[in-house]
A and B are shown apart, each in its own frame.
Chain A
Amino acid sequence: MTAPAAIEVRDLHVVYDGLAAVRGLSFTVPAGGRMGLVGESGSGKSMTALALMGLLPPGWKAQGTILHDGVDLITQTDKALSARRGRTVSMVFQDPMSSLNPVRRVGDQIADVIRRHGGVGRHEAMGQTIDLMMQMNLPRPEQLARSYPHQISGGQKQRIMIAMALACYPQLIIADEPTTALDVTVQKQVLRLLSAATRERNSALLMITHDLPVIAAMCDTVAVMYAGRIVEYGPVRQVFRNPRHHYTRGLLDSQPTMDNIALDGSSRLTSIPGMVPPLPALPSGCAFHPRCPVATDICRARMPEIDAATGAACWHPVAASQPAVAS
C-alpha cells in the first residue's frame, strides 16, 4: 500500500460574487511528491494556494474537495484550519518582507512556530531554531537570530521564511514564487536548500511560479494553469519535452535559451500575442482561443476537458513529435 496523498484536490472552484478565479481544478500531490503549478500572472495560482491554506481574501469562497491529512479542508472551521497551518501544511510567501513581522527578531519568529505546534519550552525552541538556521546555511546563526528583518539581506530573509515553513515537519509545503525576488546566484542556493530539506523530511512540495526552469529543476509533475483551469498536467519531463497544449507550447517557445539564440543576432522569440483575459471577460469555450494560432469553431464553442491520453485540455493538441525545447 502506498501512503495517502499529501493533498488531493477535486473540482476546486474559488468564487466571489459571480466571478471565478479558479474553475474546476483537480490534482494530487503524493506523499513526499513535488508538483509545480505554472501559468501567467492572473491565471489563479495564488488563489489556489490561498484556498488550500484557508487564507482566501475576504468575500472569496472555495468549493469542491480538498483532502489532506484524512479530512476535507473545505468543511473545516477557521479555528481548525488555523491550528493546522504551520503544522501539517505550511506556506512560503512570495514577498518575505510583507510576511515577516518587522518589529520581532527573526529567531523569535521561527521559535514561535515551534512553540505553537511542538509543545516545547522557550529554551528548547530556541535551540531547534538555531539548528534549523544552520541547516539553512545561514551565517552566524546565533547573531542572525537576534536581527530584525530589515537588518538582513533578501536571500537571508527568504531562508528564514523557509525555516519557518519547515519547522514542524509538515506533510505539505506550498511555496509561492519563493525565488522571484532573488538574483540568480542566491536563487540557486535557496532552491538547493528547499530541495534538500523537503527530501529529508519527506514533505511534499507544491511549487508555484511562472519560471519554467525552476519547475524543471525542482518538480516531478507539473500542472499548467490558464484562466483558472488546468490546461495540461503530467510528468515534468513529458510536458516540457513534448507539450501538447498550445499555451504550454507558447510558454516554452517564449523562453530564450543560449542554444536557440543565433550568433548573428537574427533570432526572434516566438511570443504569445495578447494577454491573459480579465476575470469578468473570460472568452467562451477554450479560454485560450483568442491567442491560439490554430483555434477553430469548436474551440470557441465548447470548453475542452483534460484528455487522459495527451494530458492536455485541447481540441487540437500539438502533435506528439514536435519538441518545443531545442536539444
Chain B
Amino acid sequence: MTAMTIERRPLLALRDVTQSYQLPRTSLFGPRSSFTVLDGIDFDVCAGEAVGLVGESGAGKTTLTRILTGMERPQRGQVEFDGQDLWAAGAAERTRFRRSVQMVLQNPRSSLDPRMRIGTALLEPLRSLRIEGNHTRRIHEVLDQVGLDRSALGRFPHEFSGGQLQRIAIARALMPNPRVLVADEPVSALDVSIQAQVLNLLKDLVQDLQLGLVFIAHDLSVVAYTTSRVSVIAAGRIVEVGRPVELFTRPAAPATRNLVDAVLTVESGLAGTAL
C-alpha cells in the first residue's frame, strides 16, 4: 500500500473537496440552511488506470463527476490536472483541461441529438472546443478504436441499437483526444450481452490509449470487472477504498456491506439465498 502511494502520479485528482447547496428558505425571514453533498473528498486517477466509484442513490456520485470535469467549482479543496490547480490556472490551461477530460453519460439515446447525423455529432466536440486539424482522419481513427463501420457516419441515432449508440457516445468523447474519460452508469441502460461488448471496449481503451477512466455503476460486478481500484461513497464521504474484488468480498464499512448484501447473482438466486 505504501509503495503504491509513493509511485502514484495522478493525472486528475480531487484534494479535500467539499461542496454544499443552499436549501430554499422555509420561511420568509428564516435562515437559509445548507446541505453538504460532498465532504472532504480525496479522489484520483492515473494514466492507464480505471477507477470505480460506487454508492447508494443520492450519495453524491454525480456531483463528484461534475466537479471532476470542471462543470462545477467546489467550495473548498482543489481539482488538480497534471499537477496544476484547475481553478487557479490561466485560460490556456483551462482550455487544455476541457479537451483532456471528457464524459460519457448513461443514456446514449438522450445524449445524442436525434436530428443530427452521426458524422455531424462526432464533429460537435471539436467545433465547440475549437480544435483545428484534419477532422476526417480523426473521425476514421476514432471509429476504428470503438469498432464501428464508416457507414455509420451518414445515419441517424434511431437507426442504431443501444449498444451501438453507446459506442458512438464513447467515440464522440474520444474525438478531442482526451486523457481522462468519466463514465456515469454507461452500461445500465444496456442488455447483458451488449453490456459486455461495451465493458470490453472501455477496458481496451484504457490499455491501448493509456486513458484514465473514472467509472460509476450500481452493479458491483460490473465495477469489479472494469476497474482496478474502487472508492465507496456514502452521504458525501469516501468511506472505503481498495481493490474491487477484495473490497466487495470482504467489505469493512457498513455502507459497502449494504451494497454488497443487496447484490443478486445467478448463483445466489439458484441457491435460494438471494432474497
Contacts and interface: CB of A to CB of B under 8 A. Distances in A.
Interface residues of B, number: 43
Contacts of B225: 256, 261, 267, 269
B56 to A, nearest CB: 6
Contacts of A255: 192, 221, 266
B275 A191 contact: yes
14 contacts: A41-B162, A183-B56, A211-B264, A213-B266, A216-B267, A216-B274, A236-B269, A250-B193, A256-B196, A256-B225, A258-B265, A263-B245, A265-B228, A269-B225
Interface stretch (A47-55, A111-119, A270-278, A309-317): A270-278
Interface stretch (B36-44, B176-184, B255-263): B255-263
A252 interface: yes
B266 A275 contact: no
A187 B264 CA distance: 9
A88 B274 CA distance: 29
Nearest to B263: A184
Given A265-B228, A269-B225, A272-B193, A213 B218 contact: no
Interface in B185-216: 191-197, 199-200, 203
Given A187-B262, A251-B192, A275-B194, A258 B270 contact: no
B123 interface: no
B274 A213 contact: yes
Given A184-B264, A252-B266, A257-B266, 18 more contacts: A40-B192, A41-B162, A42-B161, A185-B259, A188-B275, A191-B264, A210-B191, A213-B269, A216-B264, A216-B265, A236-B270, A240-B266, A240-B270, A254-B196, A255-B221, A258-B265, A263-B245, A275-B164
Interface residues of A, number: 48
B268 A183 contact: no
Interface in A203-222: 210-218
The 4 nearest A-B residue pairs measured at CB: A216-B269, A271-B196, A217-B269, A213-B264
Interface string B129-168: 0000000000000000000000000000000011110000
A268 interface: yes
A213 B57 CA distance: 21
B32 interface: no
Nearest to B225: A256
B163 A275 contact: yes
Contacts of A327: 267
A275 to B, nearest CB: 5
Interface centre among B199, B222, B225, B264 (most CB of A within 10 A): B264
Contacts of B199: 256, 269
A275 B267 contact: no
Nearest to B249: A258
Nearest to A42: B161
Interface centre among A40, A195, A211, A215 (most CB of B within 10 A): A40
B243 interface: yes
Residue of A252, A255, A256, A267 contacting most chain B CB atoms (<10 Å): A256
A40 B191 contact: yes
A275 B192 CA distance: 11
A237 B194 contact: no
Interface of A: 40-42, 183-188, 191-192, 195, 210-218, 236-237, 240-241, 250-252, 254-259, 261, 263, 265, 267-273, 275-276, 325, 327
Contacts of B263: 184
A327 B221 CA distance: 16
Interface string B103-131: 00000000000000000000000000000
B182 to A, nearest CB: 19
Nearest to B190: A41
Given A216-B274, A269-B199, A184 B259 contact: yes
A210 B246 CA distance: 28
Contacts of A42: 161
Given A213-B269, A271-B197, A188 B264 contact: yes
Contacts of A261: 221, 224-225, 244-245
Interface in B40-84: 56-57
A216 B273 CA distance: 10
Contacts of B259: 184-185
Which of B219, B259, B266 has the most chain A CB within a 10 Å cutoff?
B266
A237 B57 CA distance: 32
Nearest to B272: A217
B221 A212 contact: no
